[in-house]
Structure 1
Amino acid sequence: MVMLEEISQLFYGAGEEVPGWEGSQEDLIVFAAKAFPGKAFCVVRQWILIDLIVTPDEKEKLTNLTLLPMTLFAHEVVLDSKGRFQPKMWVRSNFGVSLIYGCMFETKNTVYLLWGPGLRKEATLGAAFSMSA
């Protein structure tokens, strides 16, 4: 069972500060379009990269599925290319596939564009995936 303290630490506890993309939103989108042509993207701010605490068995299963033990939570959606999320909404991604240049977090279906500074933290699977819209 996920404890409130665990979720509170994920949202409000200390973490490693990570810079993300420091240029304009337009330049970030152009950069992502070159790196991931045709892939859906979502520009986010106030984000947290979550390194998932997993067992060796869970890590092996994720590796076999070519997934990282990592997910993303963002307090603010700026722009979603497919209109799935409205501006100012929050979003939590699925498992990651790659983290590119420190500013693009890729999942199977979407590239999350990390605009501005964020945090990197650790959390259990239960805490990270306890959030749902």
Structure 2
Amino acid sequence: MQADLIEDVLYGPAQMLGGSQLEDGELIELAREEFEGQPFCIVRNWMVLDLLLTEAQEREVRKQGHQPTVLFINHAVFDSESRIPAGDCFIPGYQKDFHGCFFESKDKLYILAGRGARKHVSVPAISALHENLSWPVR
């Protein structure tokens, strides 16, 4: 069952999205200038996941000033705080803001590079990713 959930998240149909087309070095330089003092992370191979929550769960998430959406990062390129190793896979917290190629969680701005995707997923699917693939939730 969990394998099916994971396969659906990773390989099931999704809406394709485009992130920044700049090279990694250009993105790092630009982000350092534009977001000075704000922690940021450049990522590739990403997916915006809209969580299918109960009304009560969604209300609680929104009450905290967030959206019921997370970002699945398959490849971290650069972290301005050097806390996330290059190549790391993880899921940061709920979305605070999302515009174009910028996804902001509670603690960090994620700059989405290259192509990505967006899809709806269940909480059990996110849990299966976390449990079986040992990806930290940051």
Q: Same fold (TM over 0.5)?
A: yes
Q: What is the Cα deviation at residue 32 of structure 1?
A: 7.4
Give unmatched runs, 5+ long, in structure 1: none
TM-score, structure 2 as length reference: 0.84
Runs of 4+ in structure 1 over 4 Å off: none
User: Which position in structure 1 is the counterpart of 2:101?
Assistant: 103
Q: Is the 8 A contact 2:31 2:40 kept in 1?
A: no
Q: Give 1:17-96 correspondences, 5 Å limit.
A: 17-29=16-28, 30=30, 34=34, 36-96=35-95
Give the TM-score of the pair, scaled to structure 1.
Answer: 0.87
> 1:24 Cα shift?
3.1
Q: Is the Cα contact below 8 Å between 1:32 and 1:104 reproduced in 2? A: no
Comparing both structures, which one devotes a greater share of its residues to helix? 2
- Matching residue of 2:116: 118
Q: Report % sequence identity.
A: 27
Kindly provide the amino acid, as one letter, of the partner of residue 127 in structure 1: A
Distance 2:19 2:12 in 1: 19
For residues 78 and 28 of structure 1, what CA distance do their matches in structure 2 show? 10
> What SS does structure 2 have at the residue aligned with 1:91?
coil
For structure 2, list consecutive stretches of 5 or more residues without a partner in the other structure: none
Partner in structure 2 of residue 10 of structure 1: 9
69-78 or 24-33, which deviates more: 24-33
CA contact (8 A) 1:17 1:118 kept: yes
RMSD: 1.8
Size of the aligned set, in residue pairs, is 130
